[in-house]
A = this chain, B = another copy of it.
């Protein structure tokens, strides 16, 4: 059955990039890019990522297998406008997705067909519509929320996400763009998840969660009762 999944590389303190670039000057010199490069470096050094980008070499290890698995599981993608704009030139004529990509945007634009099976369809009637269109296109495979982090947050907040895999990178950035900000939770409410797979590697810890959804926070007796539930 098709699931809506997301994968995101985050620092130990939950950032997927450094503090947001204000658009003035070179993004590559910004704190945003420095943080983003650090948390995604494990991927750019992995063979499975490099092969999709048309680069040679790279490590063939557990990290690379996680990337290969994510690509293989996705029948369609949902993507934020900022990521789609930023990737259009570097991804070139044959983008790494090899599947239909649905871009959430306010600006209408004709569908862009690329080589290797990738297409970009620009969806202007909202996130839920983009997810529904991706689901229809995904067949038996999953809908992967490609990012960026802001879109993953929106999908989580909207209750549309079934599975979240975090690639937890052993670095503390101290500031930046956070996955888990502004989720609309009140103080006595949380989003509960269940870890269903953990893959450790020297560079990153991959933790995959099933998203169970919102639940109230409750007190307990701090273990004074008769035992475990």
Enumerate chain A interface residues (CB-CB to B < 8 A): 11-14, 18-19, 28, 31, 33-35, 37-38, 41, 44-45, 49-50, 53, 55-59, 90, 156, 166, 168, 170-175, 178-180, 183-185, 187-195, 198, 200, 202, 205, 207, 209, 217-220, 222-224, 226-229
Contact = CB atoms under 8 A, between A and B. Distances in A.
A13 B180 contact: yes
Contact of A224 (B55, B168, B200, B218): B55
Ranked 6 nearest A-B pairs via Cβ: A174-B185, A31-B187, A57-B227, A13-B180, A198-B200, A44-B223
Copies of this chain: 2
Contact of A227 (B56, B171, B198, B218): B56
B187 A183 contact: no
A2 B141 CA distance: 51
Nearest to A11: B190
A17 to B, nearest CB: 11
Given A13-B14, A180-B13, A188 B34 contact: yes
Contacts of A218: 34, 37
Contacts of A59: 228
A209 B202 CA distance: 11
B190 A195 contact: no
Contacts of A49: 223
Nearest to A217: B34
A77 B116 CA distance: 59
